[in-house]
Structure 1
Amino acid sequence: MHLKYYVLGAAALFAQTLPAAAQVSAQPAESLPSVQRAGSPGAALTLDQAIAKAFAANPGLRAAALDIAIAAGARRQAGVFPNPEVSFVREGTQRGTRTQTVQLSQVLELGGKRSARIKLADSERSLAAGNLDVARTDLRAEVTTAYFDALAAQERAQLAQASLDVASKAAGAASKRVAAGRVSPLEEDRASVAQAGARVDLAQAQSEWKVALTKLAAYWGDTSPAPASLAIPELDLAPAPALDEFERRLENLPQMRRARLQVQREQAQVGVDRAQRMPDLTLIVGSKKDDEIGRSQTVLGISVPLPLFNRNQGSLQASLARSEKAQAELEAERVRLRQELASTHQRAQLAREQVRTMREEILPAAQRVFDKTVTGFEAGKFGFLDVLEAQRTLLSTRTQYLQVLYERYRALADLGRYASSDAGTLPDNRNTP
């Protein structure tokens, strides 16, 4: 049976199994929208739509995209040549003895400084693009997780509503039996306590559902809750791809590409700092006029700093250390991804087996116990307390099923972080963009 029918069928099931004379109208605390499955008509928000909305309007993703524009401007600036400098010098104040000099100076960069700057700017632009890829991957996983958080909260609210419906009918049935003198008034008190507890559970479940919807909507910059109905993706329990297949794609993950681009960026910085050790040449061309003798002279000169003290040795040492650090971080990222991938893959496989066991063995058994208990209650073989216990066990089993189903979806969402662009789609028909 699908989760939808487990969750929404509780009230209908109990209404069918209780004697007709014992049924009373339930009074739910708040009407809840029905759960819709993917592909059904209605305004239910699907996972694909949630991810598309986040990609289109997430503020953090826009900020990461603007880093590329920033890097493009830095690349443009890195390629420009130094501006020439014009100077005017007057020596003396008396007209007959003063001299005037006009000079044009141009710095000629030596040691490949300009090409090193361009290489660094190119690497920073590539790194910004790599950061955007990682941001998109993380956002997809985070939205998927938030979607299933909200979906689980939605299912818990539906289950709490069904539980309240059952408890309300049970309380009405107990009240009628007490009035007829068939059972002790203690049974009515027990039913009333169960009804009050179900009402409290429903209020809490609805509150958690609203909070989860608000968190989901925040991923596309909306301060109001997301649409209150979420579509449930079909669950076929197909196994996830083998761990070896994920590990073969590990080097193509955006996280690994970003780590390698960071190494390239630091190596390019080493090139810049090494080029700075070569002093630049300043070419000077001008004209000097002597008012006393009325003659002008051409001025030619070359200016070169003497690298006696500052040879950029400290900056070069720092950039070399940063390059080694980036290389170490690349190796650490590879190890971290392998460890997290193995753990996530194991969680996905375990959750798959748990869901299968719950669907095929535990839930049907709990349903049979509940059915037989109600039948025995009608025949006078069981007391009403036995019916309440069977009901509590059934609802508890369905709650446990929701939890393991949520863990399955959550593990698959985390596993999506380790699926490169050519990894294909994960099971459960979660065809995310």
Structure 2
Amino acid sequence: MSRFIAALLAVASCASIAHAQSSEPASPSPPLTLERALALAGATAPSLEAATAGVRAAEAGRTVAGYRPNPSIVAETENIAGSGQYRGLRSAETTAGLALPIELGGKRSARIAVAEAIGNRARIGTALAEADLRLAVTQLYIQAAAAERRLVTAREQAGIAREALRAAGVRVQAGRASPLEQQRADVLRINAETAVERAQRLAEVARDNLARRIGQPVTGPLDLAWYDRVEGFGPARPIEPGGTLALAAARADATTAEAQVRLARSQRIPDVTLSASARRLEATNDVAAVFGVSIPFPVFNNGKAAIAQARAQSDQAQALRRAAELDAAQDIANAQAEVANAATSARNASGPVLASAAEAARIARIGYREGKFGQLDLLDAERTLSETRTAAIDALATYHDAKARLERLVAAAPSPEENNQ
């Protein structure tokens, strides 16, 4: 009779565990998807605000670069406050007019070229900020989803541990096991409940980090279906890094440096200042025209050092561009391999491996309740299942992280039409 009661309790506990694992409570709010989190983060990201301000500054700099030098008002009075006939203002000569600087050597066009190159680089910087923000938010979302999955797993393991303790108590009461098994099962229950508390705290921290990035609390569920999904990833196709953001930024830096060389060369040619004035002679009350030309004499600074500096900076930018091409190609190839390996590991860990571990644990539970397996066999199967679940969660997190980093590496640069907007 006692064996019949034990078997009945075991079947009931098994059914309750299966129902708890297969059914999840319905949430009144839709899950927060990754795309929604990205949209919310983009609306409040300080990095995007800074990048946008940089574009506005570059556009204003382009306007300033197109301005010509302002004319100057020239006014002077001579032959006053002297002695003799120059005492007072009797012999004063007052001159008033305008002086107009004339830029030579293509300085204005060179300034405009530098300003346009800086503006193009600022717009690429905005695209870089958007790509970096997308990667950061995606990684935080992955961490939050993984923490949520670990919490679900910890709760399921705690439920299994409580049912194992109950089954052990039934076996002890029926005289089919020693009290040691019940004590061991109770220790496992305590450890499982402690793991739930740790997983709960980590999940809350992960949600808080994501909430700070998107600018609002994360109270609803996450899109765990997206987290559990592993897309097919076939043989890696070579990806040319030429159109990526990293190389676009390096090229823009090189273009800006080359424009700086042209500007430095134009600065070597002195500007001419033309002046036209009217002079009034106090003694005779006559008026005469005065014309003048002013040309700087480059004795101390002839501009050679500025050209050498700009040329060295241009050589540096060109070298960094070539290095960026090599690094981008290598990083993309490595990232593709990481995504492929992570996809394989995630599919195996969350597919056949997890199914086998779950089946082994199920058989061990039934065998333990029926007295066919010992408690050590049950504990070994449960530990294997717990480790396999954790490995599956980690493999999925690694896969999504590798995929996000690959997408960041191959992010396309804005088109010239977009840069000119």
| Range into which the TM-score falls when normalised by the shorter chain | 0.7 to 0.9
In structure 1, distance between residues paired with 2:48 and 2:24:
33
Match of 2:72 among 66, 69, 85: 85
User: Distance between the aligned counterparts of 1:269 and 1:184, measured in 2?
Assistant: 86
Distance change in 2, residues 1:292/1:241 (3 Å):
farther
Q: Name which of structure 1's ranges 168-177 and 57-66 shifts more when overlaid on structure 2.
A: 168-177
The answer to whether the 8 A contact 2:29-2:220 is kept is no
Partner of 1:229: 221
Shift of 1:71: 0.5
| 2:417 alignment partner in structure 1 | none
Shift of 1:180: 4.0
* Residue number in structure 2 paired with 1:253: 244
* CA distance, structure 2, for counterparts of residue 378 and residue 200 of structure 1: 25
Report the CA distance between 1:70 and its aligned residue: 0.6
CA contact 1:148–1:410 (8 Å) conserved in 2: yes
Residue in structure 2 matched with residue 207 of structure 1 by the alignment: 201
Match of 1:378 in 2: 369
1:19-418 aligned within 5 A: 19-20=10-11, 42-91=29-78, 92-93=80-81, 94-222=88-216, 225-231=217-223, 232-233=225-226, 235-239=229-233, 242-244=236-238, 246-247=239-240, 250-418=241-409
Asked if the contact 1:85/1:106 (under 8 Å) is kept, the reply is yes
What amino acid does structure 2 have at the position aligned with 1:265? T
User: In the TM superposition, what is the alpha-carbon distance from 1:314 to its structure 2 partner?
Assistant: 2.2
d(CA) in 1 for partners of 2:74, 2:24: 80
Per-residue CA deviation, residues 381-427 of structure 1 (Å, 9 max, x unaligned), is: 112332222112111111111111111111111111133449xxxxx
Deviations 1:17-47 (A, max 9, x none): 9714768999xxxxxx9599xxx98421111
Q: For the residues of structure 1 that align with 2:72 and 2:268, how far apart are their CA atoms?
A: 23
- For normalisation by structure 2, the TM-score amounts to 0.87
State the alpha-carbon separation in 2 of the partners of residues 364 and 25 from structure 1.
20
- Whole-angstrom distance in 1 between the partners of 2:111 and 2:102: 15
Aligned residue number for residue 29 of structure 1: none
Q: Supply the distance in 1 between the matched residues of 2:411 and 2:354 (Cα, whole angstroms).
A: 37
Once the two structures are TM-superposed, the CA of residue 220 in structure 1 deviates from its matched residue by 2.7
Q: Is the 8 A contact 1:59 1:220 kept in 2?
A: no
SS in 2 for 1:101: strand
**Paired AA for residue 83 in structure 1:** N
* Residues 110 and 280 in structure 1, CA contact (< 8 A), matched pair in contact too: yes
The answer as to whether partners of 1:24 and 1:169 remain within 8 angstroms in 2 is: no
Query: CA 1:181–1:328 in 2, change beyond 3 Å: closer, same or farther?
Result: same
TM (norm. structure 1) is 0.85
SS of the aligned residue for 1:243 comes to coil
Work out the CA distance in 2 between the residues paired with 1:171 and 1:221: 44
- Structure-1 separation of matches of 2:62 and 2:247: 24
Q: Secondary structure at the match of 2:99?
A: strand
Quick check: 1:35–1:229 contact (8 Å CA) kept in 2? no
Q: 1:95 to 1:331 in 2, by over 3 A?
A: same
Pick the structure with more helix per residue.
2
Distance 1:24 1:360 in 2: 23
How many pairs align? 393
Bigger radius of gyration among the two: 2
AA paired with 1:170?
Answer: A
Tell me if structure 1 keeps the 8 A contact 2:236–2:337.
no
- For residues 156-203 of structure 1, the C-alpha deviation after alignment (integer angstroms, 9 at most, x for no partner) is 111111111111222233234334433212112111111111122111
**1:240 and 1:348 in contact (8 A); partners too:** no
Q: Check whether the contact 2:331–2:409 (CA below 8 A) recurs between aligned residues.
A: no
CA distance in 1, matches of 2:401, 2:179: 46
Q: Which residue identity lines up with residue 286 of structure 2 in the other structure?
A: R
Cα distance per residue 1:235-257 (max 9 Å; x no partner): 2541157331x23xx11111111
Q: 1:237 to 1:22 in 2, by over 3 A?
A: closer
User: How far off its partner does 1:367 sit?
Assistant: 2.2
Counterpart residue identity of residue 218, structure 2 = A
Structure 2 Cα separation of the partners of residues 135 and 266 of structure 1? 22
Structure 2: gaps spanning 5 or more residues? 1-6, 18-22, 82-87, 414-421
Alignment RMSD: 2.5
